[in-house]
Structure 1
Amino acid sequence: MFKLVIIEDEPLARSKLKRLLTDLPDNIEVIAELSSVAEVNSWLQSGGQADLIFSDIQLSDGNVFQCYQHCTPPCPVIFITAYDEYMLPAFETHGIAYLLKPYNSEKLQQAWQKYRQLTTKTPVSQQGTLLQLQALLNHLPASQAAFVSRIPIRQQQHIYFLEVNNIVYIQADGNLIMAFDSSGKRHYLPYSSLQAAEAALDPAQFFRINRSELVQNQYIERLERYCKNTLTVFLRCEVQLKTSQSRTSEFNRWLGL
């Protein structure tokens, strides 16, 4: 019996996955269904164990890589997402397969077979493979991290580069993703969504405080309670932003409060 965990915030997508899992040739049991970053963090921190995780990436309250950065997944992960820009960090975070929505039963079967091939070796052989993989990971240079340090900004006649350390906050307005630097200047970023921008940035530096805004920690000047479960975030550029109720608790933890 294989014990599986599903991380997915869309009920229909979760139902589809469970239905397709019943077609697998092995006996499985879904032991947990998690739908938010907060729930994933709680499960990981409690020492949750499983044979395999099926994980969406962009959840209702944030990016799941925030969880995996602080707590290593206890088993391999098959990522299922609608975004192809997360592929590199996925395979750097115990990922063994990457399914793009909408996927079908055949794709799921292929991912499952890959998992079975990786886990049906003899114990000695498996241990040797794990040691080899760990050695490779340990020798990867820091420069291969998936997070950008500067962003190319295209204009009509030229391209210039925006230093990430100079970004105070990022804001989404429809399909427009804008960064505001320490001088208050606005820059239009080359990302299709706020989620894509969030995935490119170091989660130790940037946090999404609501559906449309990311802030950089070094520019946070102070916090004030706005109302129950909502904070006003005062930035050094004299800008005030507000956390959403669903993000405030995680924001406090991110700040170490």
Structure 2
Amino acid sequence: MTNVMIIEDEVKVANELKFMIEQSNSNFKVCSILHSVLDARVWLMNNKAPQLIFCDIHLKDGLGFEIFRNLPVVAPVIFCTSYHEYALKAFENNGIDYLIKPIDNARLNRSLKKFLQLKEIFTEENALFNKRNSNAVSYMNGYKSSLLVYYQDKIIPISLDKLDFIYYNNYHVTVHTQTAQYETRDTLNNIITTLNPRDFFRANRQFIVHRKAVTSIQQYFGRKLLIGISSPTPEPVIISKANSSEFLKWVEGVNYQTPLPLMLENARFIN
């Protein structure tokens, strides 16, 4: 549902516009009708902004442009007026269209269609921006969002969200998902420094595990921990007594702020 505000000082004109908007598309709902610059400013300062605003330019206490001065309103505005000379200023004040009174259904429908098209474009662009921004944040934090692996004589990227664990054995490092395993030419020591420690934990000399893949934790000999992983592992995943407390905190989601180089040094992992 698209919430629409009407700012119009003539009650009859405002009610007619409300009827035309709601008749044009059932997804449009007029949430408020205001009749002055002051009333509109007070409303916008104290309520969540609508998704679309129809605004008359000549109101009884000033010009409609004054409503948006120094207010953080980002809702698109369709300005309505009997005058042509304000068109440029309208588009400088969140305006997406400029309707000359009297407004007919055909012209109104074109304006509403334009709004819906712009909304769709910005929705798609916003989704793309959020995806790019998420990747950028990972890059700026120094953490990878994917890992390059070798598969059938090709180098391909694997999203880290798909990984269950990374395994080292006999100078070979393999990357494991629910459905496949891949080879990487890098070492566990190098890989762990590029991964977000909130998601990945260096379990021991052989394994790096993803938090989402941990399915069970059992007490093991000598106060060690035996970890169940959602994918089959080549050998048991065992957390040493020295690292068990840190591992349990990590699984619970406690803020993990141990510097990675220090973690590696303390664990004395070699490969």
TM-score with structure 2 length normalisation? 0.45
If asked which structure has higher relative contact order (CA below 8 Å, sep 6+), I would say 1
